[in-house]
Amino acid sequence: MFLFDRLHARSGMSLLRSFLLSIPLLLSACAVQSDKPLSTPRYSDRDPRLEGLWRAKTDKDTLYFYIAYGPGAHGSILLFGKDEKGMGAELLDFFVTRTPKHTYLNLITRGEIESGHLHAQKSRMYSFQEYHFSWTGQLVVSAVGGEAFSKAIKEGKLHGKVEQFVITISHTPSERILAFIEGSKPEDVFIKAYSATRIGSP
């Protein structure tokens, strides 16, 4: 949701966006953004397993995110890390959609944090991440995207547009988007997973 300036990093925050959405893979598999979440937020429930401080590594960088819930089932994610341009951070809101097959994060951007100040720029678009936990307790996350969405738009199964690195779904009911994802092969709609290790409790 990104949604994001995906391949034009301006700061450490942009690096975090790139990592969260597995941006290196978007050259071959576009991420999806949507003006609708995958389910109605008011029917969401909490997943306390997500809470805490997590660390994830790429080939060159170590990035961190802190997940916490407020009242109810809505939570926030603070992403932070450092690149050659310095520290950067981003704040996102989320809620969980569960199905018999998968569990998803519905993510929406609240803004960037610079010099201790939040520069609010809440997006109207959602991005989606499928997640589960490994037997060792790692959080395994895959961005939702791929050429299957481009094909579905061209065939009229979903409404939206396809750009170079982003697929935007619009004016499509949440139920139809979720049904399409659930009815597809995971390898066709989930971009390659990354893992994160919990290093701090809530």
Distance CA 20, CA 16 (A): 6
Task: Tell me the pLDDT tens digit for each residue of 159-185.
Answer: 999 987 789 999 999 999 999 999 999
Q: Are 86 and 16 contacting, i.e. CB atoms less than 8 angstroms apart?
A: no
Burial class (CB in 10 A: 0-12, 13-18, 19+), 195: middle
The pLDDT of residue 124 is above 70: yes
The pLDDT of residue 12 is above 50: no
Token duo for residue 77: 């994610």
| Greatest alpha-carbon span in the chain | 47
Tell me which H or E stretch contains 82: strand 75-83
Parse the chain into domains and list their residue ranges: 12-200
Task: Tell me the pLDDT tens digit for each residue of 54-112.
Answer: 998 766 667 889 999 988 899 999 988 765 666 678 888 999 999 999 999 999 988 77
Specify the range with the lowest mean pLDDT, choosing from 13-17, 87-91, 134-138, 151-155. 13-17
The pLDDT of residue 201 is above 90: no
